[in-house]
Structure 1
Amino acid sequence: MKQESQVIFDRNVVEFVTVAAEFCKFLEQAENNKRKSFVDTSLKLLPLLYLKASMLPHCDMMGDEAPETYVTEETYEVLRMNLAGVMGDKDDYLDVFVSDMKYSDQPITRYISEDLADIYQDIKDFIFVFKLGLNETMHDALAICEENFALYWGQKLVNTLRALHEVRYAPTEEDSDADAEDDTDEIE
């Protein structure tokens, strides 16, 4: 019992829990944001979440069964739809880091809203178990979250970060129109 207590109360775990809870809260309130504000905050939160997840101490499952989950299909879908609404026409992006890509002659389209909802689902389930405060289930939730980060949502996070960077910093048609007007002013 003492060993799992040391791991789940490790400073890096506590910091990850703090950032993960903030990330979940941010996504749950996303529909109240404008796209620019949402993207700007996401570009700050996601790297921090990745950093804190990468610093988690390794631990193995103690129990025979995975802890219960919190996020239902309905909760997932509502969140995904809210995020898609915020992202609007900037929700989709081409993903090149997909194993199926080698079998396809067409680019694979992904959605920022779906990727964020996938990350949220894993992290919210983890936070839910941590809030219960039972050491063994907290330990197992940490082991599952750490494994899923390495195998699944860590890559989704960096892919989504790349897509969000594009949304935030890529020149838009409005920028091109403004540049064209500036060029016309200089000619006159």
Structure 2
Amino acid sequence: MEIEEVEEFLCSAISYCELVENYRDHTDNNNLNQLLISVSSLYAEAMSLPEVEPKNDEVSDLNFDLPDVNLEKNETYWVVFDPYILEEPVRGSLTDDLIDIYKDLKEGVLLYQRGEHLEAIWHWKFNFEIHWGRHALNAMRALHSINFS
């Protein structure tokens, strides 16, 4: 198993979770820039996570509180879900993106911290491919626009 890639991803996931948990000031451009850097790093690092099979198919409930993030004027943006299908854009929610990424990452972090490493890696990679990866791309697009417009 590529331990170095997993350790880098774990550190980035913990850093992202702490950033979101401590997010307070929605007007601070440094916070928005840090979110963009963090989400971008996570996306790139997730591409290098190894393919693994979990030892257990069932994971016990991982209970944790979701952080309160409010982006006010930067909350909604326009998005097209599938760039290969001609459809009208819909409203996206940056808070929803950030919290969905947080939830999928935090669950993996908790699994990893309790010694369920294969389950954590599988969880991160599987959910990256089907869920949080799309949220990350949408969040990066919105955060890029906020930071550089």
TM-score by length of 2: 0.89
Q: In the alignment, residue 58 of structure 2 is paired with which amino acid?
A: E
In the alignment, the residues of structure 2 paired with residue 98 and residue 83 of structure 1 have an alpha-carbon distance, to the nearest angstrom, of 27
- Paired residues of 1:94 and 1:110 also in contact (CA < 8 A): yes
Q: In the alignment, residue 162 of structure 1 is paired with which amino acid?
A: R
Corresponding position of 1:157: 136
- Paired residues of 1:19 and 1:49 also in contact (CA < 8 A): yes
Deviation at 1:169, TM superposition (A): 1.5
Q: Kindly name which structure, 1 or 2, has the bigger radius of gyration based on alpha carbons.
A: 1
Pairing 1:44–2:37 present:
yes
Question: 1:91-129: per-residue Cα shift (whole Å, max 9, x none)?
Answer: 101111259x86x65x31111111100000010011111
DSSP 3-state at the match of 2:77 = strand
Structure with more helix by fraction: 1
Percent identity between the aligned chains?
A: 24
Give structure 2 stretches of 5+ with no counterpart. none
Instruction: Select 2:6's aligned residue among 13, 30, 39.
Output: 13
Pairing 1:111–2:93 present:
yes
In the alignment, the residues of structure 1 paired with residue 106 and residue 39 of structure 2 have an alpha-carbon distance, to the nearest angstrom, of 15
DSSP 3-state at the match of 1:61 = coil
DSSP 3-state at the match of 1:93 = strand
Pairing 1:125–2:107 present:
yes
> 1:60-139 to 2 correspondence within 5 Å?
60-71=53-64, 75-76=65-66, 79=67, 82-84=68-70, 87-98=71-82, 105=88, 107-133=89-115, 137-139=116-118
- Paired residues of 1:60 and 1:143 also in contact (CA < 8 A): yes
Corresponding position of 1:177: none
Closer, same or farther: CA 67–139 of 1 in aligned 2, 3 Å: farther
> 1:172-187 to 2 correspondence within 5 Å?
none
Q: How many residues are treated as equivalent by the alignment?
A: 148
In the alignment, the residues of structure 2 paired with residue 144 and residue 24 of structure 1 have an alpha-carbon distance, to the nearest angstrom, of 16
Query: Aligned Cα RMSD in Å?
Result: 2.0
TM-score by length of 1: 0.71
DSSP 3-state at the match of 1:94 = strand
In the alignment, the residues of structure 1 paired with residue 101 and residue 60 of structure 2 have an alpha-carbon distance, to the nearest angstrom, of 17
Runs of 4+ in 1 over 6 A off after TM superposition: none
